[in-house]
């Protein structure tokens, strides 16, 4: 028995210390007390996890909150809960399926018609390590939802963001981008064997490259754009992984794991910080690890890859055709303006 005392007590001490220090080590709450009365925030995937807590915190700070979710029942329930908890009546549930170009266009059109302004766009929704599957338009699910869906949505809302400037775009990326690679020959996993981990990492690298390219194209418009890794947060993101699928891991390992990782409330603080803090005014094209600016992985600094990804993405979601047919295309307008300015990105 005595031979177990030392290892058990060491484990207990380390585990206890990890739990106690977790909030401190993982960033803590947003240091800014800024309120956002009169500002409109659009958040994707806001019915659960980090998105829901971000919506709640920003509603508490007085914002008008548009929650874009694919499941309207879950979205209405979350919006009602947030209105009740924050006593802010201006929290709305709105249909948005990022796995459908049609749904994204309808959502963007509704925002453009019904909202006077969009001050903050938080591209939060995400799927991780789901089984092989395609979006309605035939894109790989993770690349389609995590990157292409947000790419299209952001482009469609650029005019509104520009009219509301200074405005902010926040892209939820991940530390997982460091092992991502963009396979321009096979972005949608049609030629090679599907690898769900790599598909997630590719989509998260795409989020960082998109952030940097968009920031470059938006210089001089008053819209800033930054990417953030929120930390490791106990949410439903791992729903497709082993941890959530077996009875043993969901009932025994999962509660143990959630003691070590951040709560969704704490996981929302980096998004809140990027959305409201005074220090983030005018800051653009950066990558944040929780609330600290960090240099992203070398592949995320590849300007040629960022430009190429932009062009391919425009083509895939049909933005390029619009520009060519002479229809109103906010991206083209912003690009031509940006082309006259000098990019001043730090990384």
42 binds ligand NAP (CB under 6 A): no
Nearer to ligand NAP, 48 or 226 (CB): 48
Q: Is 200 a catalytic residue?
A: yes
Count of CB atoms situated within 10 Å of the CB of 98: 28
Sequence-ordered list of residues with C-beta below 8 angstroms from that of 227, at least 6 positions apart, any chain? 170, 171, 172, 173, 207, 208, 211, 286, 287, 288, 296
Residue nearest to ligand NAP (CB): 49
- Pick between residue 161 and residue 175 the one whose CB is nearest to ligand NAP: 175
Query: Using CB under 6 A, which residues numbered 55 to 84 contact ligand NAP?
Result: 69-71, 74
- For position 270 contacting ligand NAP by CB under 6 A, the verdict is no
Q: Which is nearer to ligand NAP, 232 or 312 (CB)?
A: 232
Residue 126 within binding range of ligand NAP, rule CB under 6 A: yes
Q: Is 237 in the site for ligand NAP (CB under 6 A)?
A: yes
Of 92, 200, 273, 288, the catalytic one is 200
Closest approach, Cβ 202 to ligand NAP, in A, equals 12
Measured CA to CA, the distance from residue 270 to residue 278 in angstroms comes to 14
- Span near ligand NAP by CB under 6 A; candidates 8-16, 82-90, 120-128, 284-292: 120-128
Pick from 229, 275, 310, 319 the residue near ligand NAP by CB under 6 A.
229
Under the binding rule (CB under 6 A), the answer on residue 47 touching ligand NAP is yes
Q: Considering the complex, state which of residue 40 and residue 171 has its C-beta at the smaller distance from ligand NAP.
A: 171
Nearer to ligand NAP, 75 or 280 (CB): 75
Return the residue of 57, 97, 140, 213 that touches ligand NAP, per CB under 6 A: 97
Asked if 129 is part of the footprint of ligand NAP (rule: CB under 6 A), the reply reads no
One of 55, 58, 94, 98 touching ligand NAP (CB under 6 A): 98
* Separation between Cα atoms, residue 36 and residue 31, nearest integer Å: 15
Reading across the β-sheet that carries 287-289, which strands appear in turn?
A: 91-95, 64-69, 40-44, 120-123, 167-172, 223-229, 287-289, 292-294
- Minimal distance, residue 152 CB to ligand NAP, in Å: 12
| 101 is a site residue for ligand NAP (CB under 6 A) | no
Residues 6+ apart with CB under 8 A from 147: 203, 206, 207, 210, 313
The nearer residue to ligand NAP, 208 or 338, going by C-beta atoms, is: 208
The first and second tokens of residue 113, run together, are: 């018609």
The answer to the question of residue 111 lying near ligand NAP (CB under 6 A) is: no
- Residue keyed to tokens 């789901």: 130
Burial track 204-243 (b if 16+ CB lie within 10 A, e otherwise): bbbbbbbbbbbbbbbbebebbbbbbbbbbbbbebbebeee
Nearest approach in angstroms of CB 335 to ligand NAP is 26
Length of the chain equals 347
Q: Could you say whether residue 233 binds ligand NAP (CB under 6 A)?
A: yes
Distance from C-alpha of 110 to C-alpha of 47, rounded to nearest angstrom: 19
Instruction: Give the CA distances from residue 149 to residues 142, 171, 210, 314, in Å, rounded to whole numbers and listed in that order.
Output: 10, 12, 12, 11
Cα–Cα distance measured from residue 341 to residue 298, given in angstroms and rounded to the nearest whole number: 25
In terms of Cβ atoms closer than 10 Å to its own Cβ (0-12, 13-18, 19+), residue 311 is exposed
Question: Considering the rule CB under 6 A, would residue 174 count as an interface residue with ligand NAP?
Answer: yes
Inter-residue contact 299 to 81 (CB < 8 Å): no
Q: How far is the CB of 331 from ligand NAP (least distance, A)?
A: 21
Q: Which two tokens stand for residue 307?
A: 């430009």
Binding residue for ligand NAP (CB under 6 A) from 96, 205, 291, 316? 96
Q: Give the C-alpha separation, 259 to 14, whole Å.
A: 13
Which parts of this chain interact with ligand NAP (CB under 6 A)? 44-45, 47-51, 69-71, 74, 96-99, 124-128, 145, 172, 174, 229-230, 232-233, 235-237
Annotated active-site positions, please? 200
């Amino acid at each position: 028995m005595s031979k177990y005392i030392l290892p058990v007590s060491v484990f207990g001490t380390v585990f206890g210390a990890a739990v106690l220090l977790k909030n401190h080590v993982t960033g803590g709450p947003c240091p800014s007390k800024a309120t956002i009365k009169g500002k409109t925030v659009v958040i994707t995937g806001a019915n659960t996890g980090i998105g829901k807590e971000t919506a709640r915190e920003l509603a508490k700070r007085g914002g008008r909150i548009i929650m874009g979710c694919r499941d309207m029942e879950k979205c209405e329930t979350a919006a009602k809960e947030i209105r009740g908890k924050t006593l802010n009546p201006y929290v709305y549930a709105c249909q948005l399926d990022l796995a459908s170009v049609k749904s994204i266009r309808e959502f963007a059109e509704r925002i453009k018609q019904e909202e006077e302004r969009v001050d903050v766009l938080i591209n939060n929704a995400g799927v991780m390590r789901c089984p092989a599957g395609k979006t309605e338009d035939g894109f790989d699910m993770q690349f389609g939802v995590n990157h292409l869906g947000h790419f299209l949505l952001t482009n469609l809302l650029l005019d509104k963001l520009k009219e509301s400037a200074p405005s902010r775009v926040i892209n939820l990326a991940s530390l997982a981008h460091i092992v991502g690679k963009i396979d321009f020959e096979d972005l949608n996993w049609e030629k090679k064997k599907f690898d769900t981990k790599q598909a997630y990492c590719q989509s998260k690298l795409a989020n960082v490259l998109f952030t940097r390219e968009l920031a470059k194209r938006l210089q001089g418009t008053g819209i800033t754009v930054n990417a953030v890794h929120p930390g490791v947060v106990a949410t439903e993101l791992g729903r497709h992984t082993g941890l959530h699928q077996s009875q043993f891991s969901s009932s025994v390992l999962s509660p143990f794991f959630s003691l070590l990782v951040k709560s969704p409330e704490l996981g929302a603080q980096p998004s809140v910080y990027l959305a409201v803090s005074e220090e983030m005014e005018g800051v653009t094209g950066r990558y944040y690890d929780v609330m600290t600016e960090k240099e992203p992985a070398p592949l995320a600094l590849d300007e040629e890859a960022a430009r190429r990804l932009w062009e391919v993405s425009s083509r895939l979601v049909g933005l390029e055709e619009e520009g060519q047919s002479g229809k109103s295309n906010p991206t083209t307008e912003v690009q031509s303006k940006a082309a006259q300015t000098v990019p001043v990105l730090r990384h």
